[in-house]
Each structure stands twice: as C-alpha cells, then as structure tokens.
Amino acid sequence: MTDIEMPGDMDGLALASTIRERWPETVVLVNSGRVRPEPEALPDRAGFIAKPYRAAELLHQLDVLMEEHGVPILSDGDILEAWHAAELAHAQADALDKPVTLAHAIAAEQAAIQRFGVGSHAAAYDARYPDAPEPRR
C-alpha cells in the first residue's frame, strides 16, 4: 500500500509500477487524499482508495483486489494453525530465538484477532486445540 504523494523523486504510482515490474505477483493498493488517478494510470494488479477511508472500506478494497487477482485468502483454520505453530515454536525456542519467535506468535495472534475479534480469537483457538497448552496471553 502506498500513497501517491511521497517525498523524493518517486511518487506512489511510479512505486506501484516498479513493484509490478520487479514482483509481478504482488498486489498494490494506492491511496491519496488529493489525487484521483484515472484507472488506466494504475499499473496492473493495483487498486485505488481515496482518503479519508474507514477501516472497513480499506479491508473491503483489499479483499476485492486480492480476489480479482487470485491472491489466496487464508481460511479460519489456516489462521488458527499458523497461530498454534507460532506458539509452539516460541515455547520450544532457546533464549536467543525467543524475541523472534515471540514476534511471530504476536503477529499470528493479531491475525486471529482481526479474523475472529478480541476474545473470540482465544475461544476459537481453544475450540480448535482443546488439549494444547495455553498460548501466551
């Protein structure tokens, strides 16, 4: 995701084009509060959202953009499995790896919170993994 207006020589449209050239499978969402580009000004696999936008609008636009371009969307089970795997990795990590595995576990839990909601994410985890040790909370 990039704003059209950026400091320096490159604007967000140029960045989106560069991303398209270097990583053609990457989807880009361009936004701006002042500029409204014509659809043909956007590179392939790029969408646009005008500022200001609500979080729900942003999530909807990202879902539409990913669906249009075949980007797989994780299932509820995939999200819970990733969280569980991250928690297990953190529990088994040695002291030097704990900061990295903790960051992965927190990111995985955040994905679960976004999908299920605060509190409901823990209930979904417990329902899926009833015999698993408690995740760090």
**CA separation for the pair 45, 52 (Å, rounded):** 22
> Do 61 and 80 belong to one domain?
no
Q: Is the pLDDT of residue 116 over 80?
A: yes
Q: How many domains does the chain have?
A: 2
Give domain status of residue 136, yes or no.
no
Phi-psi region of 125 (alpha: psi -120 to 50; beta: other; left: phi over 0): alpha
Q: Is residue 43 part of a domain?
A: yes
Class of residue 105 by CB neighbours under 10 A (exposed 0-12, middle 13-18, buried 19+): buried
Output the pLDDT for position 94. 94
- Whole-angstrom CA distances from 106 to 19, 28, 87 are 28, 25, 9
Tokens of 48: 């646009």
Domain boundary at 68, 91, 120, which? 68
For the whole prediction, is pTM greater than 0.75? no
Q: Which residue has the tokens 């270097």?
A: 22
For residue range 59-74, what is the model confidence (pLDDT) as tens digits?
Answer: 889 888 888 888 888 8
Mean pLDDT of the chain: 91
**Do the domain assignments include residue 135?**
no
pLDDT, tens only, 7-38? 999 999 999 999 999 998 888 999 999 989 98
Question: Which one has a higher pLDDT value, 137 or 77?
Answer: 77
| Structural domain span for residue 97 | 76-128
Does residue 40 form part of some domain? yes
Quick check: 137 pLDDT over 70? no
Give residue-wise pLDDT tens across range 31-54.
Answer: 999 989 988 889 888 899 999 999
User: How much is the pLDDT for 59?
Assistant: 87
